[in-house]
Chain A
Amino acid sequence: MSEIKEISLGDIAARAHELAEETPGEKMLLNMGPSHPATHGVLRLRLELDGDIVTKCDPVIGYLHRGDEKIAENMTYNQFVPYTDRLDYLAPLANNVAYAIAVEKLAKLEVPPRCQAIRVLCCELARISSHLLGLGVYGMDTGAWTIFMYTFTEREKLYSLFEELTGARFTTSYTRIGGVARDLPEGWLAKVEKFCDELPRTIDEVDKLLTRNKLFLDRTKDIAPVSKELAIAYAFTGANLRASGVPVDLRKDKPYSGYENYEFDIPVGTVGDCYDRYLVRMEELRQSIRIVKQAIAKMPDGPWYAEDAKKIFPPRKDGVLTKMEELIQNFMLTTEGPQIPPGEVYFEAENPKGALGFFIHSKGGGVPYRLHIRGGSFVSLGILPAIIPGNYMTDITAILGSLDFVMGECDR
C-alpha cells in the first residue's frame, strides 16, 4: 500500500508556482539541426520560441570535432598540411597558405617573391570560390534558388583550375613549409585570366537578381544588425566585421605574403545587417578579381620555394637521386620533419570566413608542442545568442546565411 503524504496548503501553492514556471506562457522549445539544410553543416540551435519570435538561442556545436589540434601535436609540420584543408573546406588553399606562413614566421623564413605571388593568387581564388558558394547558399536560404545555379557553374570552372594546379579539386594541400608543392603548370595563368574576364558577367547577373530585389531586401534589410562595438566585442573578423563598418582588413593593415604590392579597396558596410554582409561579399568578389589580375600581370620569375632553407624545405628530386648530401637531407626531412626553432607565434590570415589564426608553441624539432587553431567561423557563431533573440523564426536562415560560416573550421 502506498504511503499517504500529508500536503499542506503552502506546499500546493509552491507547487503551483513551480508548474507555472515549467509552462511559461506558450513558449515552445525547438531543436534546429544538427542535420538541417539551412544550418550549413552540423550546427544545432536550441531555440525557445514565443509564437513566431525567438526568445532564446543556444547553439550546440562540436558534431564535426575531429581533434585537429591533438593530431597536430603528433605529426610533423608538413604532415599537418592536409588537415588544414579540412578546416574551412570551402577555401582549402587559403588555409594551406595561412598555416604555412604561420610556421615560416616561427622559423623566420622568407619565401621568394614568386612563391608569395603564387600564394596571393591561391588565397584570392579561394576567396572567390568561397564567396561564390556563400552567396549561392545565402540566396537559397532566402528563397532565391537561381543564384545557386549561377554561382555553382562558375565555381565548377574554378575547381577545374584548382585541379590543374594542385592535382585535387577539393583537398588541395598545396603549400609546404617554405614554399609550395609544385610550380604553376604551363598555360595555367592564361586560363585563370580567362576565368577572371568571364566571372564579372555572372557577378553582374547575381547583382541584378538580388541587390534590388524586393523579396531579398525584405528578407535581409535591418535583420540582425551588428553594431561596430558589438562586432569588435565579439571579435568578429573578415567580411562580417567590415559589414559592421570597421575598416579592418589584415591584407591591408598587417600585410603578409606581399599583399602590400597590390592595389585593392576594402568594402565597408554601414549598419551591419544581413544585407550589408551580402553587399560586402559581393564587392569583395570584384576586388579579388582585381588582385588576381595584378598577380598574373606581375608574376615574378624565379624559384617557388625557399632555396636557403636546408632544414625546412626538401631538395629537388634530381639532386636527391645523384648527390649524397641531398639524399641525407631529404631523408632527414621526411623522417624528422622540418626543423623549426623553439618559440611562439600567432599568425592570423584574412581568410574568406574571417581571420584564421594559428598559435604555435614550438620546443624545437619537427613537431609542434602546441598548435591552436582560431577559426573565423567559431567566432562568428559565438554571437548567435546575442543577435538571434527578437527575430522571427524564418529570419534565422537569413542570419545564418549572412554570417557565412563553415562547421569544419568551427569544430576543428
Chain B
Amino acid sequence: MSATDTVSSLQSTLLARFSYLTPRSGSADHPAVNVPAENLVSFATALRDELGFDMLTDIAGADWDQESPRFAAVYHFVRTAKCEYLRVVCAAPDDVAPSIPSLVALYPSANWFEREAHDMFGIDFAGHPDLRRILMWDSYPWHPLRKEFPLAGKETDIPSDDQIEGARTKVRPAPLAGGPFVATPGKTMHDGEPHGKDQSWNETQPKPTR
C-alpha cells in the first residue's frame, strides 16, 4: 500500500464515520477535511480519544478575503505513534464577528496558537480561558494579517505626553516608515538606494490616513 493510498483511506474512513465532514480539495500532502464550527469540539474529542491523534501541532488562521465564509482556522493534528498528519479546516460562520469554538480544553497547545490567530485575524475562539493578544501589544487596534490591512502598516496612537515624559525617552515614528525596503534602479545613485516602498510618508511627512 503506497503512501497516497493511506492518505485517502484515512480521509474516506473519516468521511464515512462523521457525516458532517466534507472533503477538502487541493491538499498536496496530508488528508484534509472541512468541519463545521458547531461540530469542531466533538470531532476533535473523537480524534483525540478514539483515533489517536494526540498532538495538535499547529493552528493557522486564514482570511479568504472576498469569499464567504471569510475567516477560517487550519488545524494540523498528528498521530505521534505513526507520525501521521491530518488537516482540519474550520470556517467561522460569521464574517463580521468570526467565532470558532476553542480547543484549549482538549489540547493545551491550542492556547497560544489560538491567541495568535485572534491577534492576527480577530477570530474569537469561544471558550478560550485567556484570549489576549500575543504578538502585538494589548492596546493595538488592528488585525494585521487580514487582507485589507496594508503592508506598510497603519498609524496607531503613540504613548501620551506624560508617559513619554515619565519614560524620559524620545518618541518618533519607526525608521522603517514607508513599509519594507525596495531597491529600484534610478537616475541618480540616491534613487537606487534601498528605500521604503510607499514614499508618500516618512519621518518628516505624516502618513496618509486610510
Question: A residues near B, CB below 8 A?
Answer: 61-62, 65, 67, 69-71, 74, 105-106, 108, 232-235, 237, 246, 248, 250, 253-254, 342-348, 355, 357, 359, 361, 370, 372, 374, 378-379, 381-382, 386, 411-412
Contact = CB atoms under 8 A, between A and B. Distances in A.
B2 interface: no
B57 A355 contact: yes
A14 to B, nearest CB: 27
A232 B55 contact: yes
A348 B80 CA distance: 13
Nearest to B61: A372
Nearest to A248: B80
B58 A372 contact: yes
A235 B28 contact: no
Contacts of B144: 67, 70
B83 A359 contact: no
B28 A379 contact: no
Contacts of B87: 344, 346
B57 A105 contact: no
Nearest to A372: B60
B74 interface: yes
A381 B134 CA distance: 12
Contact of A65 (B54, B56, B80, B135): B135
A61 to B, nearest CB: 6
B166 interface: no
B83 A248 contact: yes
Interface residues of B, number: 40
B127 to A, nearest CB: 17
A345 B180 CA distance: 27
B28 to A, nearest CB: 4
Nearest to A340: B28
A253 B82 CA distance: 7
A61 B135 contact: yes
* 5 pairs of A and B residues whose beta carbons are closest in the complex: A372-B60, A235-B109, A253-B83, A62-B135, A374-B58
Identify whether the interface residues of A are mostly helix, strand, loop, or mixed.
mixed
Contact of A344 (B32, B55, B107): B32
Given A253-B82, A412-B135, 11 more contacts: A69-B120, A234-B108, A235-B56, A237-B57, A248-B80, A344-B26, A346-B74, A347-B29, A355-B57, A372-B58, A386-B108
B120 to A, nearest CB: 8
Interface string B62-103: 110000000000101000101101010000000000000000
A62 B149 CA distance: 19
Given A105-B29, A346-B30, A357 B58 contact: yes
Contacts of A343: 26-28
A342 B26 contact: yes
A382 B111 contact: yes
Contacts of A70: 144-145, 149, 151
B22 to A, nearest CB: 15
A342 B28 CA distance: 9
Contacts of B57: 235, 237, 348, 355, 357, 374
Contacts of A347: 29
B80 A246 contact: yes
B112 interface: yes
Nearest to A378: B112
B46 interface: no
B180 A71 contact: yes
A346 B109 contact: no
A346 B85 contact: yes
Nearest to B81: A248
Contacts of A71: 151, 180
A110 to B, nearest CB: 13
B136 A65 contact: yes
Contacts of B58: 235, 346, 357, 359, 372, 374
Given A346-B29, A379-B112, A411 B55 contact: no
Contacts of A386: 108
B109 A61 contact: no
A345 B58 CA distance: 13
Nearest to B78: A235
